[in-house]
């Protein structure tokens, strides 16, 4: 048995608390930027535009992630407390909302610069898993998004949540949606016959499958519960990801 007594605050800087979750966002973006610039991007036009694209990306992640959480996970609360929508420092971000924000901001940027949106979305698809990995590790440190109760030897006690041993579902997600997905996306990208857009739809399909698997071990958000049966909000949204990825796959296949 392991007891999770981690401090969600990484360090104090001039009386300002720097949390692990914030660092996960920062280092995830830095890694993505460096990996794209130094290794992935071969097209000089895309390389020049990429610096400006990062700004669009950050705005899309923050606004999309926050509004996604508001709409998908706590709509009635924020409807009565709209000013708190702006208080992102109090927590509450949605991966699926951030994904929607990324797609919208990428569409606007690519249209503005007359570029193929998949040139940018592929780069995000390849590098995002490492950011997801860091985010899930931060979730574990924070003792949030805990797993279901278990009697397994690897069960973890989260004192800030309750006194039951629970699946470290955050670590399952870090492994599947982070490390494994990162390896798979890079294998797809560096294949000789890889085409623009392949990484985008494969990310949707693979992440969706991994997330649905992880949701079996994850406790649903208390304010939402299960939508029906054992279908959580995360499962429901991930099934849409799989569907969207499949549609893009068949669409691009017919373009050949």
Q: Mean pLDDT per segment of 10 residues, for the chain of length 256 residues?
A: 90 84 92 95 93 95 95 92 86 92 98 96 97 96 94 93 95 98 97 94 98 96 91 97 96 77
**Tokens for 172?**
């399952």
User: For position 89, what pLDDT does the model report?
Assistant: 73
Distance CA 190, CA 188 (A): 6
CA dihedral over 216, 211, 61, 16, signed as positive or negative? positive
User: For position 244, what pLDDT does the model report?
Assistant: 97
Q: For residue 144, what are the domain limits?
A: 2-255
**Tokens for 133?**
């990995």
Angle subtended by helix axes 95-112 and 44-73, to nearest 10: 140
User: For position 92, what pLDDT does the model report?
Assistant: 86
**Tokens for 154?**
């690897």
In this structure, the number of other CB atoms found within 10 A of the CB of residue 35 comes to: 17
Q: Which residue has the tokens 């390896």?
A: 183
User: For position 256, what pLDDT does the model report?
Assistant: 59
Query: What contacts 158, CB < 8 A, 6 or more positions away?
Result: 4, 143, 146, 166
Q: Half-sphere exposure of 101 toward its Cβ, with a 13 Å CA cutoff?
A: 22
161, 132, 120, 181: which is closest to 29 by C-alpha? 132
User: For position 36, what pLDDT does the model report?
Assistant: 96
Cβ-in-10-Å burial (0-12, 13-18, 19+) of 147 comes to buried
What pTM, to 2 d.p., does this model score? 0.93
- Please, where are the H alpha helices in 113-197? 117-142, 169-173, 181-189
**Tokens for 157?**
């006690």
For the chain, the domain total comes to 1
Q: Which residue has the tokens 């130094």?
A: 38
CB 189, CB 122: distance < 8 Å: yes
Cβ-in-10-Å burial (0-12, 13-18, 19+) of 202 comes to buried
Distance CA 8, CA 140 (A): 9
**Tokens for 155?**
């069960």
């Amino acid at each position: 048995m392991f007891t999770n007594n981690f401090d969600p605050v990484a360090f104090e800087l001039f009386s300002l608390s720097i949390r692990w979750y914030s660092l996960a966002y920062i280092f995830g973006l830095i890694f993505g930027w460096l990996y794209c610039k130094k290794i992935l991007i071969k097209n000089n036009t895309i390389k020049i535009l990429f610096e400006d694209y990062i700004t669009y990306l950050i705005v899309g992640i923050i606004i999309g992630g926050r509004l996604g959480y508001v709409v998908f996970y706590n709509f009635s609360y924020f409807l009565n407390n709209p000013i708190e929508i702006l208080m992102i420092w109090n927590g509450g971000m949605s991966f699926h909302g951030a994904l929607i924000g990324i797609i919208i901001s990428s569409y606007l940027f690519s249209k503005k610069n007359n570029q193929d949106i998949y040139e940018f979305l592929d780069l995000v698809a390849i590098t995002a898993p490492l950011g997801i990995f860091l985010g899930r590790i931060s979730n574990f440190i924070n003792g949030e998004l805990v797993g279901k109760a278990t009697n397994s030897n690897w069960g973890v006690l989260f004192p800030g949540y309750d006194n039951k041993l629970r699946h470290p579902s955050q670590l399952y997600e870090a492994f599947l949606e982070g490390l494994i997905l990162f390896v798979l996306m890079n294998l797809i990208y560096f294949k000789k016959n890889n085409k623009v857009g392949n990484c985008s739809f494969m990310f949707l399909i693979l992440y969706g499958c991994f997330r649905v698997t992880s949701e079996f071990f994850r406790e649903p958000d208390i304010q939402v519960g299960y939508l029906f049966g054992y279908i959580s909000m995360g499962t429901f949204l991930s099934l849409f990801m799989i569907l969207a990825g499949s549609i893009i796959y068949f669409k691009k296949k017919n373009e050949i």
